[in-house]
Structure 1
């Protein structure tokens, strides 16, 4: 008997946290691992996003694709040529130092990446784009932030529709030109980076779905959180299935 082909490895970009207020840790949401393992059909591997411990080429050699997860810290505005203000919130400069060059390297090589929330913003910044520090402060924009109270079901509940470009990548993946998504972010795209194609918009015009034009690999990224109920949500499941298929194809091509 031939051994079963090992699952493709998805590096899940983690976040720096303090457990119990004083114990430094690298963490990743269980729902991200579940979506990678159970829907994408891949092996989840949590990455400590700190350049003191990992190098880009090492990560790309070990992993077949990367999930750029959400996280409370925001991309530092110096990465897109702007000054830091209180509205920009907290930062994780170690994660910036890993993810931004990693995105560019994966885009060039065709290695699959899937950006979620902060990850979506990282893809845009990595390609030269900029961000608004606080969407809800802009005229005519809705509050996209996570509700401060309630259960996880209430916080991750579907909040608004997203209009998708007819005939585009996301229309093809999701089989619809309008879908309903959750909303748990404060920042958002101000100007798209080079080759960033926006294919999804909230009703207030906030960009919600992007990919990198002419990239040789999977680069779909979304501003919402499809890892929530990824196994059953009709929008989330096709995204993770497509990501998993891309990782399998990349692994087989090595």
Structure 2
């Protein structure tokens, strides 16, 4: 039996200051192929290359990954400043409408870091340009030095709403996560449920209220050590199950229309 196909929304890079590429992290591919038990397909996130209808047709779900460029504040009605950092408006042009289409169709997606922020923006929310500048907030950015193991190490707790979606999924109300982000949710979209918070009040886990499909998204990076970390593994297992359910539904519809 073929595996469900997960479109991994990539990012633009330039190698050696010369060669433009579209790429996604190997950790994301490993998490999809491993704990999710799906087939990873890296998507060039640029409307010059792909369209929303094509992506919806060919993929059973989507992973909205992290990335250094931030969502352009014009997407939520604000002017860009130096604090907002670099942007990737081509990715915005794919990710934002794709999230909305998935919510409407019930097609599963999983948002991580920038992807978490894209989900909030797609649903009408806004973002802070820099969490660490806010009174009472911690520095959630990646440590600038050290090995990958040190940079992706578990650094703070996330507390889930009692009896909420994440609490039920994890079987625990509090988990340890890594943290590698600068921006964060300012105002949640009208249909965004904030289901998990860091100890400083930063939103860390969300989903879309009353959406017919899987919409869980997290501010941390569960793709790191996904096969062995119990929190990450549960998230990718659940996402893979949602993709398999979607794929089976599509196969059933195809058989009925044949």
Give the structure 2 partner of residue 71 of structure 1. Answer: 67
CA RMSD after TM alignment: 0.4
Q: Deviations over 1:146-187 (max 9, x none)?
A: 000000000000000000011111011111000000000000
Q: Distance in 1 between matches of 2:238 and 2:135?
A: 36
Q: Deviations over 1:213-236 (max 9, x none)?
A: 000000000000000000000100
Q: Distance in 1 between matches of 2:24 and 2:59?
A: 17
Q: Distance in 2 between matches of 1:27 and 1:46?
A: 7
Equivalent of residue 160 in structure 1, options 132, 156, 161 = 156
Equivalent of residue 215 in structure 1, options 211, 218, 235 = 211
Give the structure 2 partner of residue 36 of structure 1. Answer: 32
Give the structure 2 partner of residue 100 of structure 1. Answer: 96
Give the structure 1 partner of residue 49 of structure 2. Answer: 53
Give the structure 2 partner of residue 185 of structure 1. Answer: 181
Gaps of 5+ in 1: none
Gaps of 5+ in 2: 251-258
Equivalent of residue 253 in structure 1, options 246, 249, 256 = 249
Give the structure 2 partner of residue 224 of structure 1. Answer: 220
Give the structure 1 partner of residue 145 of structure 2. Answer: 149
Q: Distance in 1 between matches of 2:223 and 2:17?
A: 26
Give the structure 1 partner of residue 256 of structure 2. Answer: none
For normalisation by structure 1, the TM-score amounts to 0.98
Q: Distance in 2 between matches of 1:168 and 1:21?
A: 46
Q: Distance in 2 between matches of 1:146 and 1:20?
A: 23
Shift of 1:22: 1.3
2:100 alignment partner, SS class = helix
Segments of 4+ moved more than 6 angstroms: none
Give the structure 2 partner of residue 199 of structure 1. Answer: 195
Alignment: residue pair count: 250
Give the structure 1 partner of residue 128 of structure 2. Answer: 132
> Is residue 111 from structure 1 mapped to residue 107 from structure 2 by the alignment?
yes
Q: Distance in 1 between matches of 2:195 and 2:237?
A: 19
Shift of 1:20: 1.2
Q: Distance in 2 between matches of 1:20 and 1:242?
A: 38
Q: Distance in 2 between matches of 1:96 and 1:61?
A: 20
Q: Deviations over 1:171-216 (max 9, x none)?
A: 1111100000000000000000121000100010000000000000
Give the structure 2 partner of residue 236 of structure 1. Answer: 232
1:191 alignment partner, SS class = coil
